[in-house]
Structure 1
């Protein structure tokens, strides 16, 4: 016979999660959240419960699941410092608009600040990086059932509406392990999630139709076939210039998909020649610092940003906050837009042809290095793979190469290295297509607990390019001015570690390569199923290959 938690707040929570079809629950072990763990684990037809021990990793795993399934995922942990370990993933979800429902178990409210074990100030802990913070009442409090029902409903709807993290703190009195065999019936929910109506203002249509230099810049966002089709219609007659990045997940031969190839050495005169009159931005964080520099220095006359939640003035030129999904905006615009050819597109197209030719010329000269690794692997990844790139150099290298129509992801909300592996593994667990993580050594070693779970599919693949340091600090401006000793030890953090024993410990097959012929040979079979049905790690050792110098020489060559 199944046994459920006797806590009414937990029973209500489970009922409302079911009503809103939130089924994935990432659970980290503990005693204070035992009522939640017991309750969700006893309802396998309703909830998919996943046990992830490290709370910091667990939150990123949940983030990856939400990213994969495009709907909220709940994460739950015990009280105290366990809760604080969620924070890095919550900031990422906040700035990436990924819906996480954070369910933190807590001591009763009277226990805060009396030095009871595992008790901190949990209420409103994530206030600056969540879209809502809710504190439930203990079951013993007056009207707790009705109040908690309303609070949980409001929290779930806010999570769905804002597509971001929302926190529910749940004080629980002992006993924690009291069980019941039946759950009382709760009423069905009348959902009140808001949906915005939108009609495009006539002045925006007029601005579009009178602008001669229109640029659409697409940052980090999930794949949208509707948006891709709309932008294709806008660009087919060369009416606009559309810049996008690897993780913009848009593909068309007339889109400009390798921004840094084209604008790396722009001068003040180039800023004037190439800057748009009308800049329209879509999506979130843009990886390229060069395009930020170009647009900030170029001063476009008008800048519209399209997003339901965020309206950042990234380029210090924002004139219109369009608070609606880009797909809705462009569906309205296409009814009225003048799509005549513009010389502005040809200006950029000539630049692209020139730079792409130089890019291909450089590829014929490059030796074994990180650059070689990214070029080679971009050609062999199967089309059905989702690709997750870690921060920091991995996603920057990815901008330079062509990955076709493969779906590409990276934690660019806060651009940290701390949860790349956990996010990719969470994504892999919930996606029907296989997942590849391409990661640098520091990012991989930082987040090794991302491999500490039993749910990783056997067709998951990880490629580590190990240059023995944080190589980004060898080519970005600034760190090179530091004393070599401090640069190597405290900034680039040189090391000689490899992932061989970690791979064995976590049940991955492992291969290490150190030269071009071996890499070429290994890649032939890397994506094929493993005989032991294990996921695979390929570590590419580029110690001492001066990868930073190769990248610097690339951009010097591209001038």
Structure 2
């Protein structure tokens, strides 16, 4: 027999989640949110997952939302549990990932009287959410009508804004009253707003006046439609399209290795390669060098195309185009006549030179983090969901091609804190193989990402272990201090062998090139368990190898 919560506010929540197609719920254990856990787990059509650590749970939910491209609900108990969601909330906010945060709370008059597990939860995510709502206690007059309206508004905000929305839920005791039958709730009149876009004539005119058009694509999901639209603009060399590995767009006439091409740009190069029209698509750009280049270049016009964010990243933004890029380019292509420009040829000559130097360096370099990423790009199968952790991992990934794979990385805030949990959450809602490539510090930081009984056996994790935050030996500054080894790079001697065993993963290790190639030949094949491969490069001066690479590109 079913056991539903007798709390009307919780019954309304479950009903409205289903009405709006929100089917995945991540539950962290506790007593104050027990009515939600009990009710949701008994509700047909809701897929409930138990993740103990709220910080990890937040990123697991984020990964699930990225995987299915629809909102995920998370619920936790009161007090510091809610605060542990915050890292994932900030990432979701800046990446436009829809999370519905359902935090259980003590009744509102229990705040600040030293009652257990009680903090100021109302509005806790206010700086990084698209809505902060508080339900009315069931015992209050007109609570059902008010809560119906509040929940409906919160869910629609989450869907429309594609970002985090918070509902704080004060719950009075008793918490464990049950009922076997649910009431019938009224039908929902959905009021979701549909966005349309009309191209202003001046933009087509500005395009025709621009002889040096540069389109920069940042972090975004794969879009076949957008890829085809941009391909039309480059086929006769009318524009230059710069992409990053997590732009998820591919064409032989796009320029996908930005740092490879512009790493040693001089002040003269900034002027030589400067666009007069810059069009940016997507969100955070990994390359610091391209930001430096475009800030120095100061193009006359900068258009940013996005439904949510219009950041003035390069300090020259003059057109905020609130549209899906596909809708914008669909209209633009109807109103312009793409014409060949010398600007494309300028970049093409640079590409040929740098790509040749890259190939030469790959032939001469030995086992290292750099060589690992080169080998991985050759060995990884097509059509996997490939996640890179932040810091060194995504930056190495920028230098190589990863075939027809979907690339993911938490670039909203660019933190290392939830990379594993995000990838595991993503894998939980995927039929395709999910592969996480992570640095050692990021992996050990997020160990609880593996405290998860739902990880599919076709999940793969590759850790490149260089015994610390090796990136701090590459970027300028940290190596001039006495604090580098202990407090910045954080040198360690850990490996993942016993962690893999503890969490039910099979484990293998490679500390030379031949072993790495041999293991990778079978690593992605089906198995009864998920797998961890640890690539040990602790004996290598990896920063020196990477510095030598960029010096080789210069020479």
If the TM-score is normalised by the length of the shorter chain, which range does it land in? over 0.9
Corresponding residue number in structure 1 for 2:531: 536
Corresponding residue number in structure 2 for 1:558: 553
| Deviation at residue 253 of structure 1 after TM alignment | 0.7
Structure 1 residue runs of 4+, over 3 Å off?
Answer: none
| Deviation at residue 390 of structure 1 after TM alignment | 0.2
Match of 1:494 among 488, 491, 496: 491
**CA distance, structure 1, for counterparts of residue 142 and residue 348 of structure 2:** 66
Corresponding residue number in structure 1 for 2:411: 412
| Deviation at residue 161 of structure 1 after TM alignment | 0.4
Which string of whole-angstrom CA distances, capped at 9 and with x for unpartnered residues, describes residues 2-42 of structure 1? 01000000011111101100000000000000000001110
| Deviation at residue 384 of structure 1 after TM alignment | 2.2
| Deviation at residue 187 of structure 1 after TM alignment | 1.4
**CA distance, structure 1, for counterparts of residue 103 and residue 461 of structure 2:** 32
**CA distance, structure 2, for counterparts of residue 49 and residue 235 of structure 1:** 46
**CA distance, structure 1, for counterparts of residue 291 and residue 383 of structure 2:** 32
**CA distance, structure 2, for counterparts of residue 385 and residue 199 of structure 1:** 36
2:506 aligned with 1:513, yes or no? no
Corresponding residue number in structure 2 for 1:333: 332
| Deviation at residue 512 of structure 1 after TM alignment | 1.0
2:27 aligned with 1:27, yes or no? yes
| Deviation at residue 257 of structure 1 after TM alignment | 0.5
Describe how 1:130-279 pairs up with structure 2 within 5 A.
130-279=129-278
**CA distance, structure 2, for counterparts of residue 81 and residue 17 of structure 1:** 25
SS of the residue corresponding to residue 140 of structure 1 reads coil
**CA distance, structure 1, for counterparts of residue 175 and residue 355 of structure 2:** 64
SS of the residue corresponding to residue 334 of structure 1 reads helix
**CA distance, structure 1, for counterparts of residue 524 and residue 122 of structure 2:** 46
**CA distance, structure 2, for counterparts of residue 119 and residue 237 of structure 1:** 63
Which deviates more from structure 2 when the two are superposed, residues 465-474 or residues 227-236?
A: 227-236
**CA distance, structure 2, for counterparts of residue 185 and residue 356 of structure 1:** 65
CA contact (8 A) 1:208 1:338 kept: no
2:349 aligned with 1:350, yes or no? yes
Corresponding residue number in structure 1 for 2:11: 11
**CA distance, structure 2, for counterparts of residue 405 and residue 97 of structure 1:** 24
Corresponding residue number in structure 2 for 1:299: 298
Corresponding residue number in structure 1 for 2:396: 397
Corresponding residue number in structure 1 for 2:36: 36
- Which blocks of at least 5 consecutive residues in structure 2 are unaligned? none
| Deviation at residue 556 of structure 1 after TM alignment | 0.3
SS of the residue corresponding to residue 293 of structure 2 reads helix
Corresponding residue number in structure 2 for 1:377: 376
SS of the residue corresponding to residue 386 of structure 2 reads strand
CA contact (8 A) 1:260 1:291 kept: yes
CA contact (8 A) 2:383 2:404 kept: no
Which string of whole-angstrom CA distances, capped at 9 and with x for unpartnered residues, describes residues 134-189 of structure 1? 00000001111001000100000000000000000000000101001111111121
TM-score normalised over the length of structure 2: 0.99
| Deviation at residue 197 of structure 1 after TM alignment | 2.1
Corresponding residue number in structure 2 for 1:464: 463
Corresponding residue number in structure 2 for 1:121: 120
Match of 2:542 among 536, 547, 554: 547
**CA distance, structure 1, for counterparts of residue 427 and residue 399 of structure 2:** 25
TM-score normalised over the length of structure 1: 0.99
Match of 1:527 among 524, 528, 538: 524
CA contact (8 A) 1:250 1:405 kept: no
| Deviation at residue 332 of structure 1 after TM alignment | 0.7
Q: How many residues align?
A: 554
SS of the residue corresponding to residue 167 of structure 2 reads strand
CA contact (8 A) 2:300 2:316 kept: yes
| Deviation at residue 338 of structure 1 after TM alignment | 2.1
CA contact (8 A) 2:24 2:48 kept: yes
Describe how 1:54-65 pairs up with structure 2 within 5 A.
54-65=53-64
**CA distance, structure 1, for counterparts of residue 49 and residue 363 of structure 2:** 47
**CA distance, structure 2, for counterparts of residue 251 and residue 55 of structure 1:** 37
**CA distance, structure 2, for counterparts of residue 500 and residue 84 of structure 1:** 32
**CA distance, structure 1, for counterparts of residue 248 and residue 339 of structure 2:** 26
